[in-house]
Amino acid sequence: MRIPLPLARGAVAAIIVFFAMVASAGAQTGRVVGIVKDETGQPIKGATLSLENPDASPRNFTATSDDHGRFAVIGLKAGEWSLVAQAPGFQPEVARLQVRATTPSAPALTLRRAPQAPPSALGSVGVKDLQADLRSADQQFASQQWDQAIASYKSILARVPALSVVNLQVAAAYRSKKDYDSAIAAYNDLLKSDPANDKARVGVGQAYVEKGDLAAAAGALSQGSSKEAFYAMGDVEAARGNTDAAAQWYQKAAADDPSWGKPLLKLGLASLNKGDRADAAAKMQRVIAVDPTSPEATQAKTVMEQLK
């Protein structure tokens, strides 16, 4: 599944806090519990939580939040799961959740309101109708009905061209279908109207990586200015065998956000590969210190044990 990117819609933002807990290393099954709240801290009743892991059996689980916004899913196989959270009036959000033999907590997810088109840009399209159409398209996306979602999003774009940000969702759906050329075209459509949109630029690079064209990916990502672009560029250079160049990009990502464990972990692993155990240990300690609940912190702890 692809992670849905923000779209226009009203309503307040919501925060979902959840924890992954595995019953035992032997059983390799666990449960996810959490609570869904809006921005003011009020629980959201009736939110739908869907989890998927293609390598598990069963591969899909669904839960609904109760009157207090709480939900629970049991019987999960240890591994990486995609969690989709959605509720009427809110923007669907997807996160990657690691269910492990340890009991890490997952970071809070914030469902943000996306920018809405100015009233003048809507023409004769009613705001309520537009919101309903976006909600329906988002639900199709969350249900992995890729073709239907693409058609719905494109219908919205045809009626309201000012909502060019919808191309992010169109592109994400195409990537889920492995139609990378169409995904790249959708990202580029957004970049035509919003050249500074780094999400679209990173998306182009990632689509090229998935397509297997690392040179084109590097060309797209080198123009990015966000930490995600720097990190993705590091991955591209690493895949091309340019380890020193990769480390420079990871360093840029870490400098842009010192609390982000992912680039620090890559830098630590690079030091380990060079035989610099002291520097590797120092970077692993930084990962654990700045991002203690992340999957990267779990990996860093494993490396630290091996370095002893």
Write the pLDDT tens digit of every residue in 48-99. 777 777 777 777 777 777 787 777 777 777 777 777 777 766 666 666 676 7
Residue 218 has which token pair? 């590097």
Q: What pLDDT score was predicted for residue 22?
A: 41
Q: What pLDDT score was predicted for residue 113?
A: 41
Q: Alpha carbon of 228 to those of 4, 32, 169, 254: distances in Å? A: 16, 27, 18, 10
Q: Is the pTM of this model over 0.95?
A: no
Write phi, then psi, for 23 (nearest 5 degrees): -60, -50
H/E segment holding residue 83: strand 79-86
Cα distance between residue 206 and residue 224, in whole Å: 12
Q: Alpha carbon of 261 to those of 160, 197, 224, 298: distances in Å? A: 39, 24, 20, 11
Cα distance between residue 59 and residue 144, in whole Å: 14
User: What are the start-end ranges of the H helices in the chain?
Assistant: 127-142, 146-159, 167-176, 180-193, 198-211, 214-221, 227-239, 243-256, 261-273, 277-290, 295-307
How many helices (H) does the chain have, and how many strands (E)?
Answer: 11, 8
Q: What pLDDT score was predicted for residue 263?
A: 92
Question: What CATH superfamily is the domain 14-111?
Answer: Immunoglobulins (2.60.40.10)
Q: What pLDDT score was predicted for residue 135?
A: 83
Q: What pLDDT score was predicted for residue 117?
A: 47
Taking 70 as the pLDDT cut, the residues of the chain under it are 1-30, 38-41, 88-96, 98, 100-127
Average pLDDT for the chain = 78
Q: What pLDDT score was predicted for residue 126?
A: 60
Q: Alpha carbon of 62 to those of 75, 82, 88, 112: distances in Å? A: 12, 11, 16, 22
Q: What pLDDT score was predicted for residue 249?
A: 94
Cα distance between residue 31 and residue 142, in whole Å: 21
Q: What pLDDT score was predicted for residue 34?
A: 74
Cα distance between residue 290 and residue 102, in whole Å: 19
- The domain spans of the chain are 14-111
